[in-house]
Amino acid sequence: MNRLIEMDVHERPKWHRWLFLSFQHLFAMFGSTVLVPILTGLSPSVALMSSGIGTLAYLIVTKGRIPAYLGSSFAFIVPIISVSQGGKYLGNALFGCFVVGLMYGVVALIVYRFGVKWLDSLLPPVVIGSVVIVIGLALAGTAVDMAGKKDVVEALPHTAAGWQHLDGTIKSIDSAKGTVTVHVYSLKNFSVALATLAIAIIASLFFRGFFSIIPILIGICGGYLVALAAGMVDFSPVHEAKWFQLPHVVSPSFSWHAALVMLPVTLVVLAEHIGHLLVQGELMGRDLTKNPGLYRSLLGDGLATCIASLIGGPPATTYGENIGVMAITRIFSVWVIGGAAVLAISFGFIGKFAALIQTIPTPVMGGVSILLFGIIASAGLRMLIEHKIDFSDRRNLVIAAVIMVIGVGGALLRFSGIHLELEGMALSTVIGILLNLVLPKRAKEEKTVAEAA
């Protein structure tokens, strides 16, 4: 068996291990998957259900060879809000998302026709490794923010001196209630996050047997108990939620305007998708772009997006959080991912279970996110080392430097007229590809490439 793999894609764990391993992936993706519908006015329950159905569809299309979980895509938040106009035209926004899903299919057909050899020239190891580092580190700020800060509601100041004395970052102002929400540092929150991180690290390094392969779940559960002792857990949403609830399904409404607004986002999600697939392939020691094929992966993601759009869920994308879980545990079983998908579908109907997961304090998820995103960045660094990238070559140095600074720095290229934003990983990938194409190669490198061909 591949030394990088603890459990291969088609291996099925025993039922009790299966349940815990699937729950670990469910916890990893839950927060981000329900946040997108909350921000866009869609139903969180439908988002859970559509993510589960979309993931199962993806696993089928990819012949059960790529263990990826598909959750809500953040790339569509701005265009959905723009098109829906406060929720009045959600159906139109969903139609635009459906068209993006169809565009995935078109790109998949092109890839099927022309193959993936073009990827080798567009995305050499220096570009891929640097982009993988960006995938991990671009979210580092988010993880640390989740770990160490909290929102505090204060009375609205009426003087300039009062505004100057507000500590932290102003998030929102409610003139009707006379309050301002401020994002401030919290030692208590950061302590809980560090405790969660410590528990996850100890479980990963020192636990043996089954417990060594669920360190993220152990970290979340341990951190939850610490947060509970610190009085940070609010059970009121659980009491208010119903045991059984029917998700509120919204159907798409035909709108070419919405389609034109959404289509440019395809570039962003395609770059994100290819980046995640390359990361998974590197972690597994396999070229997933060739077997089962990039076209199958794109088609599966497009199908998941179409399914979500038809039932009122946000578009789907592969999740870095779940890739991080697999990087730590080295468990790539599609049965485990499929189990998480089934749990997500179930929680779309069982209100109290979904509400219970939502009571997990943000610092707890921030603590495990520090480890998850860091592991992904480390995988990119390992990729550069294993491919023996020569950084005495200024060409490689320039490409890696620009990719990482633009990606980690959060550079943004915005086209307001067509609601297209290239940010972080997507922008750094595009610029990395362009630099690789236009910067001249050394004669030695060209000779090596020619001999390899």
pLDDT tens, position by position, 174-187: 777 778 788 778 88
Confidence of residue 332 (pLDDT cuts 50, 70, 90): very high
The DSSP string of 395-445 is HHHHHHHHHHHHHHHT-EEEEGGGTEEEEHHHHHHHHHHHHHHHSPPPHHH
For residue 307, give the amino acid letter.
I
| Residue 348: DSSP 8-state | T
| Average pLDDT score over residue span 70-89 | 76
Taking CA 75 as the corner, what is the angle to CA 298 and CA 41, rounded to the nearest 5 degrees?
A: 115
Average pLDDT, the chain: 83
**Chain centroid offset of residue 27 CA:** 13
Q: What is the average per-residue pLDDT within 12-40?
A: 82
Residue 148 pLDDT greater than 60, yes or no: yes
The helix (run of H) or strand (run of E) holding residue 106 is: helix 90-114
Instruction: Report yes or no: 419 and 264 within 8 Å, Cβ to Cβ.
Output: yes
Tokens of 216: 């993220």
CB atoms within 10 A of CB 388: 7
pLDDT value of residue 1: 43
Q: How confident is the model at residue 401 (pLDDT cuts 50, 70, 90)?
A: very high
pTM recorded for the entire structure: 0.71
pLDDT band at residue 265 under the 50/70/90 scheme: confident
Element (H, E) at 197: helix 187-206
Please state, in angstroms and rounded to a whole number, the distance separating the CA atoms of residues 66 and 53. 16
User: What is the per-residue pLDDT for 421?
Assistant: 65
Contacts of 392 (CB under 8 A, 6+ apart): none
On whether the CB atoms of residues 277 and 58 are closer than 8 A, the answer is no
d(CA 3, CA 286): 12
Q: Is 43 left (phi over 0), alpha (psi -120 to 50) or beta?
A: beta
SS3 363: helix
User: 150 has which bridge partners?
Assistant: 184
More confident residue, 401 or 247: 401
Cβ pair 101, 302 in contact under 8 A: yes
Q: Which pLDDT belongs to residue 39?
A: 65
